[in-house]
């Protein structure tokens, strides 16, 4: 008689044995759609350690029969494993736990694989935000997070990871966004340090009289958000700016609809055919300049420079590139993919970021230096990418702004962050402590006090602009990231807002309701009429001068009183003496180059810098992560800062092995772009 092996019977019995009866409870809480996953472990009774975890058939009764090894743990209570799933894994198995004697002490329910892409295993180390893990620093990095494959095999104690002491340096929109995501991911030791006395960074609404709903305010930083763009009767959302509206909804939810903290959007009027066109001193019999519509209907009311045929041809070629509707649609739909496509494919097969506007026309199209200089405005190091995304944004069909001022966006964060925020704390030095693998931050209470204050943290998210980073003593950094910090050009803006007793511009015939007036008065730039509280009574404020880039730099050396008086006189020249009579004497002037906490307005990368520097901002150096509008694909917009804040938070989550949380953040904040193709 042949003896039957008992193994099948034992295995069957083990399979029937309730998973809840084992001392080690094992589960996966997220869909296994990529080759990287968290395995959650809870040890309920004493078990001989180390505990080894494997994947294999649900009937296996020996660790030696396992299909693959996941890792091991010696911790008590709760733990989390990072599982790199092999390419050739079979579906429908179970995760098992074995004590030091090889006895089964835990088993999961059947695991179902939903892998969408097979990625090659490259090693066992922390998850970098780079191409080695499928993360594309030139394009849709969030797709890469969804398909991560890399992490060491050691167990991750989620509670310990989330108790790391993390400091966010800078309470602008990038820093606030980073804080929000880490807070919602369960971090318990977050600190926010801000050099100034307020939240918001370059978001700055100036209330000239009263508060938000007295409606005499102007935006001295960002003003509005492009919402939709219409092409051939089809309307497209400008998708990357949707994160602003999503954040507003989230903060309203967090604050339980508190009206004192609410963020509500109203239409912004970007252009108005009744705005004046005051150039070359031309005025009508009314004593006022012609309107935009009148100039469009009668070109004799404007004087334009005569252009050579060659200049006209160069202008036509330039417009064909920056107004290409196919590219505009691509940017509107998915700015990140469009950026990658432009860098790879460029123009006519040429590398997009290598060819500046200037070099492309001169060296490739054979345009004259004179024609090229006129058409490109003399910006010889500008990129076509910048011209295209800005062309999309400023060509928006509809716009939004925040009722009561954009300050209400950072204001909404106060209940969330105040207990962990330290204002008036300008960091001067950061030291890397090799022995403890921590960062020591130093600051002084004032510059007459030579004694430094100190605080030590596990990680630092640097959410401040390059000019401020350049003032700071940082740990020794590789030349690449140091070059990114030191080499990125930073533009500036000067704004002057004037308050008037009434909205006299709304009483012209025809009335100016929002929009802009264009003028060639030197140094004024653009003039913006308020888009809120239309036809209201009482004081109202006009953005009487918005000068940017080189034009703004010229005003920095001019005393404030002289600058303001120049603008007051210019408004009277354009609008008539009513502007002088109606001025209340109140004004706000902000030249961002003079702001010691910002030192400028926005980043203006030159040709080649996206390719060179973006990958560096996706790396972690001495436990420091860099975020901000300078560290992403578009610049000078709130959406740019928010997107970078999401990336920085995800980067830290991956550093700590918190894969589930990283994926959750991606799904929540970048989900409108996640389109993974198998």
CB neighbourhood size of 235 (10 A): 12
**pLDDT tens digits for range 33-51:** 777 788 898 888 888 888 9
Helix (H) or strand (E) holding 581: helix 578-582
Q: What is the pLDDT of residue 365?
A: 84
Q: What is the pLDDT of residue 289?
A: 96
Q: What is the pLDDT of residue 84?
A: 78
Q: How many CA atoms lie within 13 A of 134 on its CB side?
A: 20
* Res. 123: pLDDT tops 70: no
**pLDDT tens digits for range 545-579:** 999 988 899 999 999 999 999 999 999 999 999 99
Distinct helix (H) and strand (E) counts, the chain:
22, 30
The answer to whether residues 63 and 56 touch, using CB atoms and an 8 Å cutoff, is no
* Res. 2: pLDDT tops 50: no
- Which residues have CB under 8 Å from 493's CB, separation 6+? 546, 547, 548, 549, 552, 591, 592, 601
The answer to whether residues 85 and 36 touch, using CB atoms and an 8 Å cutoff, is yes
Contacts 24+ apart (CB under 8 A), 566-570: 566/523, 567/496, 567/498, 567/524, 568/498, 568/544, 570/519, 570/521, 570/524, 570/544, 570/545
**pLDDT tens digits for range 270-303:** 999 999 999 999 999 999 999 999 999 998 888 7
Q: What is the pLDDT of residue 638?
A: 98
The alpha carbon of residue 290 and the mean position of all alpha carbons in its chain are separated, in whole angstroms, by 40
Helix (H) or strand (E) holding 310: helix 309-322
Alpha-carbon gap, residue 613 to 480, rounded angstroms:
7
Least confident of 112-116, 428-432, 647-651, 653-657: 112-116
Residue with tokens 């509008």: 629
Q: What is the pLDDT of residue 674?
A: 65
* Mean pLDDT, the chain, integer: 88
**pLDDT tens digits for range 71-88:** 888 766 677 888 878 877
The alpha carbon of residue 481 and the mean position of all alpha carbons in its chain are separated, in whole angstroms, by 19
* Res. 515: pLDDT tops 60: yes
* Res. 4: pLDDT tops 50: no
The answer to whether residues 398 and 228 touch, using CB atoms and an 8 Å cutoff, is yes
Task: Give me the torsion for CA of 298, 303, 306, 312, rounded to 10°.
Answer: -60
Q: From start to end of 32-170, where are the E strands?
A: 36-43, 51-56, 68-73, 77-84, 94-98, 104-107, 155-156, 166-169
Q: What is the pLDDT of residue 376?
A: 84
Alpha-carbon gap, residue 440 to 430, rounded angstroms:
6
Alpha-carbon gap, residue 168 to 174, rounded angstroms:
10
Alpha-carbon gap, residue 100 to 80, rounded angstroms:
19
Domains assigned to the chain: 7-115 (2.60.40.2840), 159-199+413-487+604-669 (3.50.50.60), 205-239+260-273+493-594 (3.90.660.10), 305-395 (no CATH)
**pLDDT tens digits for range 607-631:** 888 888 999 999 999 999 999 999 9
Confidence of residue 131 (pLDDT cuts 50, 70, 90): confident
Q: Is the peptide bond before 78 cis (omega within 30 degrees of 0)?
A: no
Alpha-carbon gap, residue 626 to 111, rounded angstroms:
37
Alpha-carbon gap, residue 304 to 496, rounded angstroms:
28
Q: How many CA atoms lie within 13 A of 228 on its CB side?
A: 8
**pLDDT tens digits for range 571-595:** 999 999 999 999 999 999 999 999 9
Alpha-carbon gap, residue 349 to 351, rounded angstroms:
7
Alpha-carbon gap, residue 493 to 203, rounded angstroms:
13
**pLDDT tens digits for range 48-66:** 888 999 999 999 889 998 9
Averaged pLDDT for residues 340-354: 72
| % of the chain at pLDDT higher than 70 | 91
* Res. 447: pLDDT tops 80: no
């Amino acid at each position: 008689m042949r003896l039957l092996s008992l193994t099948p019977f034992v295995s069957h019995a083990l399979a029937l044995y309730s998973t809840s009866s084992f001392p080690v409870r094992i589960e996966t809480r997220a869909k296994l759609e990529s080759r990287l996953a968290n395995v959650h472990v809870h040890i309920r009774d004493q078990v001989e350690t180390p505990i080894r975890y494997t994947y294999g058939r649900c009937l296996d009764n020996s660790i030696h029969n396992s299909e693959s090894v996941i890792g091991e743990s010696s911790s008590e209570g709760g733990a989390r494993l990072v599982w790199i799933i092999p390419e050739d894994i079979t579906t429908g198995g179970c995760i098992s736990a074995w004590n030091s004697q090889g006895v089964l002490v835990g088993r999961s329910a059947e695991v179902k694989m939903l892998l969408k892409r097979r990625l090659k295993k490259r090693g066992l180390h922390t998850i970098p935000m780079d191409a080695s893990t499928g993360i594309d620093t030139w394009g849709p990095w969030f797709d890469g997070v969804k398909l991560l494959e890399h992490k060491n095999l050691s167990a991750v104690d989620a509670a310990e990871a989330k108790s790391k002491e993390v400091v966010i340096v800078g309470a602008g929109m990038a820093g606030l966004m980073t804080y929000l995501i880490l807070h919602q991911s369960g971090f318990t030791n977050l600190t926010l340090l801000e050099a100034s006395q307020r939240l918001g960074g370059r978001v700055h609404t100036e209330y000239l009289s009263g508060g938000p709903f007295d409606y005499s305010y102007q935006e001295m930083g960002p003003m509005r958000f492009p919402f939709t763009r219409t092409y051939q009767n089809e309307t497209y959302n400008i998708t990357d700016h949707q994160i602003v509206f999503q954040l507003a909804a989230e903060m309203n939810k967090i604050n339980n609809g508190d009206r004192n903290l609410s963020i509500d959007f109203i239409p912004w009027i970007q252009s108005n055919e009744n705005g004046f066109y005051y150039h070359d001193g031309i005025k009508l019999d009314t004593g006022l300049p012609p309107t935009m519509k009148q100039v469009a209907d009668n070109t004799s009311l404007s004087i334009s420079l005569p252009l050579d045929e060659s200049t006209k041809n160069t202008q036509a070629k330039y417009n064909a590139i920056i107004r290409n509707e196919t590219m505009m649609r691509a940017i509107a739909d998915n700015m990140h993919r469009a950026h990658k496509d432009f860098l790879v494919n460029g123009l006519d097969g040429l590398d997009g970021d290598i060819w500046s506007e200037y070099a492309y026309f001169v060296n490739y199209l054979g345009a004259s230096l004179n024609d090229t200089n006129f058409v490109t405005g003399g910006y010889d190091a500008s990129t076509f990418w910048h011209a295209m995304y800005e062309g999309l944004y400023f060509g928006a069909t509809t716009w939004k702004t925040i009722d009561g001022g954009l300050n209400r966006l950072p204001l909404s964060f106060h209940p969330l962050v105040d207990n962990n925020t330290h204002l008036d704390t300008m960091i001067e030095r950061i030291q890397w402590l090799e022995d403890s693998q921590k960062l020591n931050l130093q600051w002084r209470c004032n510059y007459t006090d030579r004694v430094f204050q100190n605080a030590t943290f596990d990680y630092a998210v640097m959410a401040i602009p390059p000019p401020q980073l350049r003032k700071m003593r940082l740990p020794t950094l590789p030349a690449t990231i140091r070059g990114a910090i030191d080499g990125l050009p930073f533009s500036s803006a000067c704004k002057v807002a004037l308050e008037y007793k009434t909205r006299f511009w709304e009483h012209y015939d025809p009335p100016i309701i929002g929009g802009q007036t264009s003028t060639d008065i030197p140094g004024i730039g653009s003039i913006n009429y308020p888009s809120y509280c239309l036809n209201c009574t009482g004081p109202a404020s006009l953005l009487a001068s918005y000068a940017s880039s080189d034009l703004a730099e010229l005003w920095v050396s001019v005393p404030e009183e002289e600058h303001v008086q120049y603008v007051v006189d210019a408004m009277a020249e354009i609008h008539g003496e009513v502007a002088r009579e109606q001025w209340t004497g109140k004004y706000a002037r902000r030249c961002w180059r003079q702001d010691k906490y910002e030192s400028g307005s926005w980043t203006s990368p030159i040709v080649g810098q996206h390719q060179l520097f973006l990958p560096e901002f996706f790396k972690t150096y001495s436990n420091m992560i860099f975020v901000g509008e300078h560290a992403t694909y578009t610049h000078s917009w709130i959406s740019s800062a928010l997107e970078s804040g999401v990336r920085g938070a995800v980067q830290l989550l991956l550093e700590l092995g918190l894969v589930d949380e990283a994926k959750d953040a991606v799904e929540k904040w970048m989900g409108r772009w996640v389109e993974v193709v198998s």
